[in-house]
């Protein structure tokens, strides 16, 4: 079955209030690619460019963000991954919660995407590059060649954010980092999370997202074990200080991933939006629950608990 990429994009909706959602999709793809490669020293670099015509040389942090580059050392666009990329609504990543439509979000918020990927196969390293655009075919300038490089590297460049999303996109580096950390929270709390950096190319400033999470978002965390009708639950309690996080949540996990989440506001009467710790500092509470019976109860196809 042939997919009309332009038609697929036109049938999807992305609220202008969610301009960073395509970026989140690309970062999660990078995390999963590193997992697929069994890479123990995973690295993800997020770099953004600004519209240089809109700000002065005195302040290089006021221009609208126009382009994001996401580079990782994951498994890359192998033949199998490339074929999955070409398949609309693929179930290739269903076991990881993927719905197969994230890449189409790129083309809603950005004019096009440019992908360059170097990966290993049969003892050689291959570089695949192509342009992903809102056209009927979708793929342009697809090239494959042997690579002189002997390391894996994939870059997804989301080019020229469209005006309605650019207006809603945050400008400050620390704000962008906070939003990314909030969305990737379930990965950042894990010990095997890749190293993630976010860089503003116009100023050269960078934020180590892993450290940012530990210092700015996770005020306090502790692990407790609870016996529940003979089943042992492991609960990670976290105090989150980020102003971007609004809800107290319980996250139910299986196979080291969040499967479903539940707000506490409807469960605990008169629960305040912000709680205060022993030092009087406000925080939002999050709990991550793991258990063997949750692992056994998850549906691997849909990532839902039976």
Q: Give the separation between CA 281 and CA 29, rounded to whole angstroms.
A: 35
Q: Which residue has the higher pLDDT, 86 or 140?
A: 140
CA distances from 287 to 22, 189, 206, 248, 278 (A): 27, 11, 30, 8, 19
Average pLDDT over residues 167-174: 92
pLDDT at 94 over 80: no
Q: Name the pLDDT band for 31 (thresholds 50, 70, 90).
A: very high
> Residue 115's Cα: distance from chain center in Å?
17
CATH 3.30.565.10: which residues of the chain? 5-171
> 5-171 architecture in CATH?
2-Layer Sandwich (3.30)
Average pLDDT over residues 28-52: 94
pTM, two decimals, is 0.78
Q: Name the pLDDT band for 240 (thresholds 50, 70, 90).
A: confident
pLDDT at 265 over 50: yes
Pairing of strands 195-200, 43-50: parallel
pLDDT at 245 over 80: no
Q: What does the mean pLDDT of the chain come to?
A: 85
Q: What is the CA radius of gyration of the chain?
A: 21
Average pLDDT over residues 152-181: 93
Q: Name the pLDDT band for 188 (thresholds 50, 70, 90).
A: confident
């Amino acid at each position: 079955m042939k997919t009309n990429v332009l038609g697929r994009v036109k049938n999807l909706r992305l609220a202008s209030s969610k301009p960073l959602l395509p970026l989140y999709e690309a970062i999660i793809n990078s995390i999963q690619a590193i997992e697929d490669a069994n890479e123990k020293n995973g690295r993800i670099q997020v770099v953004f460019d600004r519209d240089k015509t809109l700000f002065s040389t005195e302040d290089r942090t006021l221009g609208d963000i126009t382009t994001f580059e996401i580079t990782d050392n994951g498994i890359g666009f192998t033949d199998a991954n490339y074929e999955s990329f070409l398949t609309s609504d693929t179930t290739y990543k269903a076991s990881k919660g993927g719905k197969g439509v994230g890449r189409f979000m790129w083309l809603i918020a950005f004019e096009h995407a440019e992908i360059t990927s170097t990966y290993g196969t049969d003892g050689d390293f291959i570089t695949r590059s192509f342009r992903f655009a809102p056209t009927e075919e979708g793929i342009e300038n697809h090239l494959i060649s042997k690579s002189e490089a002997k390391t894996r590297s994939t870059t997804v460049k989301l080019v020229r954010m469209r005006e309605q999303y650019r207006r809603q996109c945050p400008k400050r580096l620390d704000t962008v980092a906070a939003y990314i950390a909030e969305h990737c929270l379930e990965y950042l709390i894990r010990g095997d999370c890749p190293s993630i950096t976010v860089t503003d190319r116009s100023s050269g400033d960078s934020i180590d997202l892993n450290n940012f999470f530990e210092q700015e978002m996770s005020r306090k965390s502790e692990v407790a074990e609870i016996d529940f009708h003979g089943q042992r639950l492991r609960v990670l309690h976290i105090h989150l200080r980020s102003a971007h996080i609004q809800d107290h949540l319980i996250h139910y996990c299986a196979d080291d991933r969040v499967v479903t989440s539940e707000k506490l506001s409807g469960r605990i009467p008169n629960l305040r939006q912000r709680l205060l710790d022993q030092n009087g500092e406000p925080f939002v509470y999050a709990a991550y629950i793991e258990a063997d019976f949750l692992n056994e109860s998850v549906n691997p196809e849909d990532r839902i608990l039976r």
